[in-house]
Structure 1
Amino acid sequence: MAGNQPLTPFENALAGALGGVFSNAVVYPLDTVKTRIQANKKASTNPAAEKNERGPEMLRVLLRIARGKGGIPELYKGFRANILNTFVQQFAYFYWYTVVRTLYIGRVLRSRDPAPALSTVTELVLGALAGALAQLFTTPIGVVATRQQIGSHDHEEDADESIMGHVREIYHKDGLPGFWRGIKPSLVLTINPAITYGVYERVKNLILIASGGHMSPGKSFLIGALSKTLATIVTFPYILSKIRLQAKNTPYKSAFEVLSTIAQKEGILGWYQGMQAQIIKAVLSQALLFYFRDYFELWTRQLLSLSAGAKA
């Protein structure tokens, strides 16, 4: 039956990409807040008032941005570039993950089972390889999206904040290599989705065994939240490094320089600035991605079933 056939790399990638777009659209204001915290740019124009603020840092920064000059639309700066980046990144990741997994199962294991249980280490390696291939294609869009979210400094109010404005500025200042700023920590961060999906697949398999093969979108949400939290904690210093390397007018040349400078000024704990915001945003986004992806997979399989029935 078509409904039980494995999805092709394209179908798997499309389901994952659409799931990523939907999930990222829901949490986008939180993404803007966490990016500004990590870039050490919190949109504060009144330091005295800032000292009197109460509550979690993420909420304080969100309210500061919403009450600022740009208002609520400021929380959606870079939305189009970010959504495009999310779609391309998730599509590329799921496509390459399906390809390398299928090749490994068919060429290395020579298994006739299209979905055999793989070890955690194997899942991590395959996920990291897929993530590295995806990053080579998506980093330029990510650089533009990050700069739009962070915004210009106060003395650059006349700066062109459009996608093409940032593209021209990056090319003018740094040439083509500027579009791949932060690629090294990005490649290191391929372990993040590798950990996420590795843990997700392992826990998912345990739940499938325990529940007789039944997997609901709700369970996917919870497993996605758990797996992304673990991955974020492990890789956060490099997430922070990547954001600061991609920021406009950054003084840094490498992730090592970012981390050593922060350690000298703020101590090792400075490496985790904005981690709470990152975890909240990442967990919600990843859990929603798995939730939506399961629905898109379901719809894709139903379409395949209908198509197979029509041909019969």
Structure 2
Amino acid sequence: MSDALINGLAGAGGGIIAQLITYPLQTVNTRQQTERDRKKAKYQLSTIEQMCQVVKHEGWDRLYGGLMPSLVGTAASQGVYYYFYQIFRNKAEAAAIELRNKGIGDGSVGMLSSLVVAALSGCVNVLLTNPIWVVVTRMQTHTKMSKKSQLGHSSSSSSDEALLAAVEPPPYGTTHAVQEVYDESGLLGFWKGVFPTLIMVSNPSIQFMLYETMLKKLKERRASSVKTNNGINALEIFFLGALAKLGATVVTYPLLVVKSRLQAKQHTGGDKRHHYKGTLDAILKMIRYEGLPGFYKGMGTKIVQSVLAAAVLFMVKEELVRGTRALLTRSAIKTAKSRPP
């Protein structure tokens, strides 16, 4: 099994686990990002309060709206990203060694090369998986009226039951979201928000640049230590991943808000302030009607969610890679011993 495939599968596994742990925070954050009512935004509930409101009025299941396509998207995204990241990383390392042989550099991959590798991997990932995330955003932002709010203040239980049967909408699933996107904009609708998302590859690029730099420095520090154990443990990987993601999220968050606005259901009728024709139109309308704070809606929730998810992902991924390599090594040794001399 190639190193790229090991990293790709490990990344997919780590991404799924991180997604399962942090998904309710993602749902709340997407709703915060796509909230366009300035009065509601001004008196916005805390993350915990908003989660409680969703549970109270829409049920627990709405915190996990779009979970299945999101898990598919996460597995695909992380798998594609780490697979191509390792391929591009191997090429960068080979180029660095070749330059060292020519007397240029020390043979290690520098910060700029790490940034380019992460950016190229991110672009491939975005172009292949954007349709999945459009569907996920639709399902996360779809609101379901509670039965109580549908019924109003009716006092008759029998009439309530009859009214419920008449007004309760069918479940909003993946096929509904796909059909909604297609009816709005055709096939191109599945690539809504792809432009800011392509720019957003700077997020994992910055994240991986910071992560690789901090990891390299920590390894060098351990190597120079008198202690015999120079390995990096899972907890240290967890904190390195968290710090790297925190730095990347703070820098790129406004682009994430614009992407969510474009991928959410468009208000084609009524208030034109809530209808975006494209990336530039969304940015200009947000500046005009919401001001700069509009680009940072839900940032606190996103920092908690993304930092936790990234930390879990890095920790699980590294452990899976380490475990897989150990298994393959033992298997190879066992096979070699079983062969006749």
TM-score by length of 1: 0.88
Shift of 1:169: 2.3
Is the 2:211–2:244 Cα contact (8 Å) retained in structure 1? yes
1:105 CA displacement: 2.6
In 2, Cα distance between equivalents of 1:32 and 1:112: 48
Distance 2:36 2:16 in 1: 26
- 1:32 deviates by 0.7
How many matched pairs? 297
Percent of matched pairs sharing the same residue: 32
Q: Which amino acid aligns with 1:15?
A: A
Which deviates more from structure 2 when the two are superposed, residues 202-211 or residues 97-106?
A: 97-106
Equivalent residue number for residue 20 of structure 1: 15
Checking the alignment, whether the CA contact within 8 Å between 1:160 and 1:166 is kept in structure 2 is no
2-structure distance, mates of 1:105, 1:229: 27
1:134-153 Cα shifts (integer Å, max 9, x gaps): 11111011111111111147
> Is the aligned partner of 1:63 residue 2:87?
no
Amino acid at match of 2:112: V
Q: Which moved more, 1:246-255 or 1:182-191?
A: 246-255
Identify the residue that residue 26 of structure 2 maps to in structure 1.
31
Aligned-pair CA distance for 1:110: 2.9
Answering whether residue 84 of structure 2 is matched by residue 96 of structure 1, we say yes
Q: What residue number does 1:309 align with?
A: 333
Select the residue among 158, 161, 178 that pairs with 2:172.
161
Gaps of 5+ in 2: 151-166, 224-229, 268-274, 337-341
Pair 1:254–1:299, CA change in 2 (3 A): same
Q: Aligned residue for 1:222? A: 239
- Conserved 8 A contact 1:105-1:111: no
Do residues 237 (structure 1) and 241 (structure 2) align? no
Residues in 1 aligned to 2:182 and 2:283: alpha-carbon distance in whole angstroms = 26
Q: 1:41 to 1:29 in 2, by over 3 A?
A: farther
Give 1:196 deviation, angstroms: 0.5
* Bigger shift: residues 194-203 or 206-215: 206-215
The CA distance in 2 between the partners of 1:123 and 1:61, in whole Å, is 38
1:78 maps to amino acid: G
- Aligned partners of 1:223 and 1:287 also within 8 Å: yes
Greater alpha carbon shift after TM alignment, 248-257 vs 203-212: 248-257
- 2:190 corresponds to which letter in structure 1? F
Query: Residue 135 of structure 2 aligns with which residue?
Result: 144
Shift of 1:166: 1.5
TM-score (norm 2): 0.81
Question: CA offset at residue 298 of structure 1?
Answer: 1.7
Equivalent residue runs for 1:186-205 within 5 Å: 186-205=197-216
Q: Contact between 1:106 and 1:112, CA under 8 Å: does it hold in 2? A: no
Q: Which residue of 1 aligns with 2:157?
A: none
Unaligned runs of 5+ in 1: 1-5
Q: Which region of structure 1 is more displaced relative to structure 2, 295-304 or 135-144? A: 295-304
Quick one: which amino acid aligns to residue 193 of structure 1?
P
Q: In 2 relative to 1, CA 116–165 (structure 1 residues): closer, same or farther, beyond 3 Å?
A: farther
- 2:283 partner letter: L
Paired residue type of 2:126: Q
1:181 aligned partner: 192
> CA RMSD of the aligned region, Å?
2.7
Cα deviation, 1:116-170, whole Å, max 9, x if unaligned, reads 5321111111101110011111101111111111114769973662112222222
Distance 1:106 1:31, change over 3 A: same
Separation (CA, whole Å) in 1 of partners of 2:64 and 2:190: 22
Q: Give the corresponding residue for 1:80.
A: 68
Helix, strand or coil for the counterpart of 2:245? helix
Q: Which residue of 2 aligns with 1:206?
A: 217
Range with greater deviation from structure 2 (104-113 or 293-302): 104-113
- Tell me how far 1:96 sits from its aligned partner: 0.9
Secondary structure, aligned partner of 1:249: coil
For the 8 Å contact 2:286–2:295, the answer to whether it is kept is yes
Contact 1:237 1:259 (C-alpha < 8 Å) held by counterparts: no
Task: Tell me how far 1:260 sits from its aligned partner.
Answer: 1.9
**How far off is 1:254 after superposition?**
2.2
> Does the CA-based 8 Å contact 1:185-1:255 persist in structure 2?
yes
1:265 aligns with 2:285: no
Which shifted more, 147-156 or 222-231?
Answer: 147-156
**What is the SS of the residue equivalent to 2:98?**
coil
Deviates more, 1:291-300 or 1:152-161: 152-161
AA aligned to 2:253 is: F
Aligned to 2:115: 124
Q: Please state how far the C-alpha of 1:30 moved relative to its aligned partner.
A: 0.7
Report the alpha carbon displacement of residue 24 of structure 1 after superposing the two structures with TM. Answer: 1.1
Q: 2:193–2:262: 8 Å Cα contact kept in structure 1?
A: yes
